[in-house]
Structure 1
Amino acid sequence: MKQNKIFFISGPTATGKTSTSINLCRHLNENNCLSEIVNFDSLVFYKELSIGTAKPTQEEMGNCKHHFVGMNSAKEPINASDFINMADKLLENLTNQGICPIFVGGSAFYLRAFIKGMYESQPISDKVRNDSQKIFEQEGIQFFRDFLKKNDISSYNNLHENDHYRNIRAYEFFIQNNCPISDEKKKHDENSPYDFSINRLKNYSLHHIYLDLDKQEHWNIILNRCHQMVKDGLINEVRDLLTNGFTGNEKPLQSIGYKETIQFLNNEFKDQNEYIERMAISTRQLAKSQRTFFKKVVPKKSYHPILDRSKIIEDAQIFIQS
């Protein structure tokens, strides 16, 4: 019996994942294989964020049906567990209709969580979340760092003090479950964390398309993209968000592009050139960490997003017919 098929398109930021997914989706639909695109980029979920997330345009989405694009407010962040629950329901629905999904995005954590599963734990209660938020507002991140140093030294050593989200998450996990999140991570990682052939999607066959390119070529693309985002109105987009009820402390607004733009609006850069350069450097650093993660992932097929366009389609067709 043939298994249901799923495509995954991943890679560092600014490597052409959106255009590749649309090109593949159109090809499949034109060749009698119904296909739709499922976003797993964590910032593209949010309706208020467009320019700084390189969200697919209405014209691009008109070529292929997209899911999980601009579906939620940035005031109500979606976590990996939320994404898995939504994606599981959607996957079942698409499969029942005979539709082959193409999952696309750069959020490595969300991709691995969906394919491999997550730590088993009780959901963090509203009380714990509210309490930790109040503590953070009153005492800052140092309270959480001190707590982890005493109760979860592995997380304390592995997390940077500026990574407020994960420090607070580790604290909340301990309060909720009475055990360190690092212990749960260790158990989880014993299950070959980078081998996607060992996965929870038992009734599916997976084809992982990984996009990457030469670092200098990639830097030029990143720099051009940052200039283009500013030209397209990123500064006004962020200014409007801050005028319409956002504080700038929301987790999505602390992401690359938005964080630097808020700093620019607060006059923390000497000029616009320094602001764009800082944004580009931060993007390159993100790409480096994504590259480090995906380098460990197996199995996958690696492609240059431009030079290998025909090869991507050719291999996808072989996968569909297998």
Structure 2
Amino acid sequence: MLEIVVNNDLPFAIFLMGPTATGKTDLAIALQSHFPVELISVDSALVYRGMNIGTAKPEPELLVRVPHRLIDIRDPSEPYSAADFAHDARQAMSEITAEGRIPLLVGGTMLYFKALLDGLADAPQSNPQIRAAIEAEAAIKGWPFVHTQLAEVDPDTAAQLHPNHSQRIQRALEVFQITGRPISELKREQMEKGSALAPITDEYQVIQIALLPHNRAVLHQRIEQRFKAMLEQGFESEVRQLFERGDLHPDLPSMRAVGYRQMWQYLSGTVSYDEMVEQGVVATRQLAKRQLTWLRKWPDLHEIYIDSEAGQLNIFEDILRNCLKLLWYFVKTLLLRLRRMLVLAGWISCLVVR
């Protein structure tokens, strides 16, 4: 277990992260019965209304009983960036803390977690016309070509991005076209002035927990089972309703979500049903791999495994028990520190009286 360093001056927040299909939401809901927490979703697809089955969105009845913030806050036609999330999450955290509860941020969109931990420049609002123009050019020439355009105007940002990282390339070019300045330059300037969002650890004592697999085969099996369960629950019908709206297209961030992209291709006649299923499972596995890559380099992370080293899946009660043990260890550490401070204050007061 990592050493837990307690800062008594800061409120407490919990980050619960991990790859897809590890049971993060179920664990977060269970924790709500043991701690005064309120949940904040950290998922780039759950923000969209009408995208329920393919995102494994909690049922409406459950959301009434255990509210999740930042779910169903955008239409699928609207963009939602890491900067949007950072602002919205900070506001939600502040409100939850003011009400005497603990923010519990749960999800698998690692870029959103990173935006909170590292802070962000105060970038301009999205411009739908500019975004559409960039998407149209990418549709004709490909994202690697658009990446070379970004390299001409903002080489620092381009050097940090893969040529196919469409969302971040698009956002960086969009900011340049709106402001006439590279986003990397804006970030540096705002950090110097103090006008950018500071790291969340300046405001909160954050304990970061990740649900991880010892054996990837266990995770792959869960991913396949969940994708097929989504199909049985009516995923095709859900995407068909979006497909038939007429104002959505496959280059939107919402429709690039894993599962939705593959189902869209099937509905447009690009692939067969069997190909859609296979590609959907493969894409979800690739998403999990990217999430695990993020987490391998993540600092100050407390790991809880969903399976044994032999690949035997742990029962949910054991996973919950391990998480509770970790959180109670933190609480105990905090209480011991406070007790020492009170004892020290008592000694000091006695010396002053004498």
Q: What TM-score comes out, normalization by structure 1 length?
A: 0.84
Distance 1:141 1:159, change over 3 A: farther
Cross-structure match for 1:205:
205
User: Structure 1, unaligned stretches of length 5 or more?
Assistant: 29-33, 189-197
Distance 1:96 1:131, change over 3 A: closer
SS at structure 1 position matched to 2:105? strand
Cross-structure match for 1:93:
95
Distance in 1 (CA, whole Å) between partners of 2:284 and 2:188 is: 29
Cross-structure match for 1:82:
84
SS at structure 2 position matched to 1:211? strand
Distance 1:97 1:145, change over 3 A: closer
Cross-structure match for 2:153:
151
**Contact kept? 1:212, 1:303, Cα under 8 Å:** yes
Deviation, structure 1 residue 315: 1.3
Q: From 107, 116, 132, give the equivalent of 2:118.
A: 116
Deviation, structure 1 residue 7: 0.8
Counting only pairs closer than 5 Å after superposition, residues 60-71 of structure 1 correspond to structure 2 as: 60-71=62-73
- 1:275-296: CA deviation from partner (whole Å, max 9, x where unpaired): 1111111111111111111111
**Contact kept? 1:14, 1:221, Cα under 8 Å:** yes
Distance 1:132 1:67, change over 3 A: closer
Larger CA Rg, structure 1 vs 2: 2
SS at structure 2 position matched to 1:133? helix
Counterpart residue type for residue 234 of structure 1: F
SS at structure 1 position matched to 2:43? coil
Percent identical pairs in the alignment equals 28
Q: From 321, 341, 348, give the equivalent of 1:310.
A: 321
Counterpart residue type for residue 318 of structure 1: Y
Cross-structure match for 2:256:
254
Distance in 1 (CA, whole Å) between partners of 2:68 and 2:166 is: 32
SS at structure 2 position matched to 1:292? helix
Distance 1:169 1:46, change over 3 A: same
Cross-structure match for 1:194:
none
Q: Which deviates further from its counterpart, 62-71 or 79-88?
A: 62-71
Distance 1:313 1:148, change over 3 A: same
Deviation, structure 1 residue 251: 1.5
Distance in 2 (CA, whole Å) between partners of 1:262 and 1:139 is: 18
Cross-structure match for 2:15:
8
Distance in 1 (CA, whole Å) between partners of 2:72 and 2:154 is: 36
Deviation, structure 1 residue 144: 2.9
Q: Which deviates further from its counterpart, 35-44 or 74-83?
A: 74-83
Counterpart residue type for residue 202 of structure 2: K
Deviation, structure 1 residue 56: 1.3
Deviation, structure 1 residue 179: 4.5
Count, aligned residues: 305
- 1:162-189: CA deviation from partner (whole Å, max 9, x where unpaired): 443332222223334545445678999x
Cross-structure match for 2:230:
229
Q: From 165, 170, 173, give the equivalent of 2:172.
A: 170
Counterpart residue type for residue 221 of structure 2: N
Cross-structure match for 1:191:
none
Counterpart residue type for residue 243 of structure 1: E
**Contact kept? 1:219, 1:284, Cα under 8 Å:** yes
Cross-structure match for 2:74:
72
Cross-structure match for 1:31:
none
Distance in 2 (CA, whole Å) between partners of 1:138 and 1:186 is: 29
Q: Which deviates further from its counterpart, 139-148 or 304-313?
A: 139-148
**Contact kept? 2:39, 2:103, Cα under 8 Å:** yes
User: Structure 2, unaligned stretches of length 5 or more?
Assistant: 1-7, 191-197, 307-315, 335-354
**Contact kept? 2:76, 2:248, Cα under 8 Å:** no
Counterpart residue type for residue 299 of structure 1: D
1:21 paired with 2:28, answer yes
Distance 1:76 1:27, change over 3 A: same
Cross-structure match for 1:279:
280
Counterpart residue type for residue 44 of structure 1: L
Distance in 1 (CA, whole Å) between partners of 2:126 and 2:71 is: 27
Distance in 2 (CA, whole Å) between partners of 1:122 and 1:73 is: 21
SS at structure 2 position matched to 1:201? helix
Q: What TM-score comes out, normalization by structure 2 length?
A: 0.77
**Contact kept? 2:126, 2:174, Cα under 8 Å:** no
Distance 1:184 1:282, change over 3 A: farther
Deviation, structure 1 residue 47: 1.4
